[in-house]
A and B are shown apart, each in its own frame.
Chain A
Amino acid sequence: MTKEGVMKTIDYSLYYGDFKALNGITVDIPINRITAIIGPSGCGKSSLIRSFNRMNDLISNSRTEGTILVDGEDIYSQDVVRLRKKVGMVFQRPNPFPKSIFANVAYGPRIHGIRDKSKLAVIVENSIRDAALWDEVKDDLGKSAFSLSGGQQQRLCIARALAVEPEVILMDEPASALDPVATLKIEELMEKLKIKYTIVIVTHNMQQAARVSDFTAFLLTDSERAGNLIEFGPTTEMFTNPVDTRTEDYISGRFG
């Protein structure tokens, strides 16, 4: 039932200077599904997720081998602005700008050239609605984003990412700085978002991966400390019936 992916990596490796952080990763991210990337600390989860929107370009000594395709096209032959518009990102700690709630969500559309006030208002409202935050902030759009709670800030960041109409949303441990109630809200939200978007989430939390994701990718470092993809497959299968013993060890160890 896997549809053809919007995103895939083919024998992709990433280096920081001489250090190889990811080794020959080949994975096909299914469209309109939630894919979880799991693995122990330092195995390269963030490195991998930041590869999809070329955020590793910002690290001056990073270098890549192999290919990542988004919409069938090599990400390095695409305009990075267009790529990042298609592949949005939500970070580990909520990072709204020190601006109003409205200005935060309007930021993306504005930089992509939308000036019309009424158009912006519609985009902002729809994005905040889609991020399940509208009822909480609809009367306070002019207030500073910092007046929101951590969980609300993270949903605002999701709204901000949605506002540029991406195809993919990357989330690097989006709930790790939040309390259980706020985490649950984010998880419910992801469930709704996958109807329209393809979602990739990094998580440390096995239960979370089991709860929210349809597919799981398990990374582990080899003897050279480079991250390798050990197993990829439907989450239920992987959690009940892992193929690789290392996956089994990790999952059972974590479920303890």
Chain B
Amino acid sequence: MWFSCGLTVLIMLFVIGYVIIRGFSQIDLDFFLTPPRGGLSGEGGISSTIIATVYLVITTLVFATPLGVSAGIFLVEYADNIKSRFVQKLVVFARFGVETLAGVPSIIFGLFGYALFVTSLHFGFSILSAALAGTCLVIPVIIRTTEEALKAVPNSYREASLAMGAGKWETIWKVVLPSAITGISTGIVLSAGRIVSETAIFYVTLGGSYRTPTSIMSSGRTMALHVYYLAMETRAFDKALATAAVLVLLIVLLNLVINAVSSWLSA
């Protein structure tokens, strides 16, 4: 056990170390400030892919957060009190759906997004199509973390609030959600990490243009996609490693944010 644990850590350190050490030798300020250029030769920096990544993360979260959080609230706070048989069946089905969706490979959401948003709805390869597909991908994560966070709020808080004459929604808004905010934000940051690191789903919905996206209808290329393009379609493997190094740092940063948020909010 000790051995396998040690081995895992060693492998992890090796991968991250390799990427960062090899990658960082390529990186200077220009790398962040210039867009990629030169097609197959893979020259230039990654500025436009950083912008596309941020743009996509924000757009996706704008869609996914309100939807996922309210679905989680409904499932925990309301679903069991509704007596209608039909609604009860629907809720069972929804719970099953969330469980299943959480395990579906991301490319399936990509294909679905391609069929629905890119072609049928004519959104084309765009931030919008990618964000909608990304929403399908991360919504199970947000729903589940919201559910867990709400279930962890002691019932005695709800009772105390209701016993003072507060309404149901008032109680959720003023007592339950503030107590659950740590867990809920963890789910949101986790989702951001998911969008930053996925490739397949965005390959078929975002397209791959390395120009800086100017609107929600622009095509684009996230950093993770850029790594893929550089590695597979150009001769610039070192640039791929450099981009990967930035990506790894970003993911590490997001994880630090999750930890900071949890310890700050639960303090």
- Would B165 and A111 count as touching, CB distance under 8 A? yes
- Would B157 and A97 count as touching, CB distance under 8 A? yes
- Would B161 and A107 count as touching, CB distance under 8 A? yes
Q: Is B30 an interface residue (CB 8 A)?
A: no
Interface class of chain B by DSSP = helix
A170 to chain B, nearest CB (A): 8
- Would B163 and A55 count as touching, CB distance under 8 A? yes
A81: chain B residues at CB < 8 Å are 165, 167
- Would A108 and B165 count as touching, CB distance under 8 A? yes
Q: Is A161 an interface residue (CB 8 A)?
A: yes
Instruction: Tell whether A60 pairs with B179 under 8 Å between CB atoms, given A81-B165, A93-B156.
Output: no
B179: chain A residues at CB < 8 Å are 97-98
A111: chain B residues at CB < 8 Å are 161, 164-166, 170, 174
Interchain Cβ contacts within 8 Å, total number: 63
> Which of A32-40, A83-91, A192-200 interfaces with chain B?
A83-91
A55: chain B residues at CB < 8 Å are 159, 162-163
A96 to B157, CA, bound (A): 7
Q: Is B7 an interface residue (CB 8 A)?
A: no
- Would A95 and B165 count as touching, CB distance under 8 A? no
- Would B156 and A98 count as touching, CB distance under 8 A? no
- Which range contains the number of A residues in contact with the other chain? 20 to 34
A60 to B82, CA, bound (A): 9
Partner of B163, one of A53, A60, A98: A53
A12 to chain B, nearest CB (A): 19
B157: chain A residues at CB < 8 Å are 95, 97-98
Q: Is B17 an interface residue (CB 8 A)?
A: no
Instruction: Tell whether A82 pairs with B165 under 8 Å between CB atoms, given A93-B156, A107-B174, A111-B170.
Output: yes
A53 to B160, CA, bound (A): 12
Q: Is B233 an interface residue (CB 8 A)?
A: no
Q: Which of A55, A80, A81 has the most CB of B within 10 A?
A: A81
11 contacts between A and B (CB under 8 A): A80-B165, A93-B156, A95-B156, A97-B175, A97-B179, A98-B178, A99-B178, A107-B164, A111-B170, A112-B165, A164-B165
